[in-house]
Amino acid sequence: MKQQIVTKINGQQHVLQVSPRKTLLAMLREQLQLTGTKEGCGTGDCGACTVLLDGQPVNSCLVLGVEIDGREVITIEGLDNDGELHPVQEALVERGGMQCGFCTPGIALNGAALLQDNPDPDEAQIRRALAGNLCRCTGYVKIVEAIQEAARKWREKSATRTPAPEPADG
């Protein structure tokens, strides 16, 4: 029996009829043709299916479609800003932080979430944040470099948008 859900995906409101046993991943790929989200294992062990659920990275293979009723999802198709790549996306391309690219959407989303939380992560923090995103091609070296580069871009961007607040007791 399908259930109706109302959800926002990549900024757009959707009213969907979903069978409860469909995962969010299956719903995105089969029902909405948002195939940028990948299935690498189906068991939460590889991170290829990472999406942002209310801003937080989750494995969409372990979330039911019906669970996102009233919630907001960003997939890789919604990470760029009208064609302008997110700094993480840009850096992954520029630094060669991808080879076959199958893990890349998940890494881009998780990297973007990391910078949202921590605009200046050190290498260990980046590696820990990405531990749930397996990559078989790159050995992670250039991915980590790309996230570091993206963090620099991200900070520059935020600095130009909102001037840093003066220290309260300064």
Q: Among 124-132, 148-156, 158-166, which window interacts with another protein (CB under 8 A)?
A: 124-132
Q: Based on the number of CB atoms within 10 Å of its own CB, is 132 exposed (0-12), middle (13-18) or buried (19 or more)?
A: middle
Site for another protein in 26-55 (CB under 8 A): 26, 29-30, 33-48, 50, 53
| Residue ranges in 59-118 that form contacts with another protein under rule CB under 8 A | 59, 62-64, 66-67, 69, 75-77, 79-80, 85, 89, 92-96, 98-105, 108, 110, 113
Give one DSSP letter per residue of 21-83, joined into a string.
Answer: TSBHHHIIIIIS--TTS--S-SSSSS-TTEEEETTEEEEGGGSBGGGGTT-EEE-GGGTSBTT
Number of residues in contact with another protein, rule: CB under 8 A? Answer: 80
Contact 4, 17 (CB under 8 A): yes
129 binds another protein (CB under 8 A): yes
Q: Of 101 and 122, which CB lies nearer to another protein in the complex structure?
A: 101
Q: Is 1 helix (H, G, I), strand (E, B) or coil?
A: coil
Min CB(67)–another protein separation in Å: 6
How many angstroms separate the CA atoms of 154 and 69, rounded? 31
Q: Does 157 bind another protein (CB under 8 A)?
A: no
Dist. CA 125–CA 118, nearest whole Å: 9
Q: Which of 115, 135, 150, 151 is the binder for another protein (CB under 8 A)?
A: 135
Closest to another protein by CB, 40 vs 164, is 40
> Whole-number minimum distance, CB 18 to another protein, in Å?
9
Residue 165 CA to residue 125 CA, distance in Å, equals: 25
Minimum CB distance to another protein smaller for 150 or for 162: 150
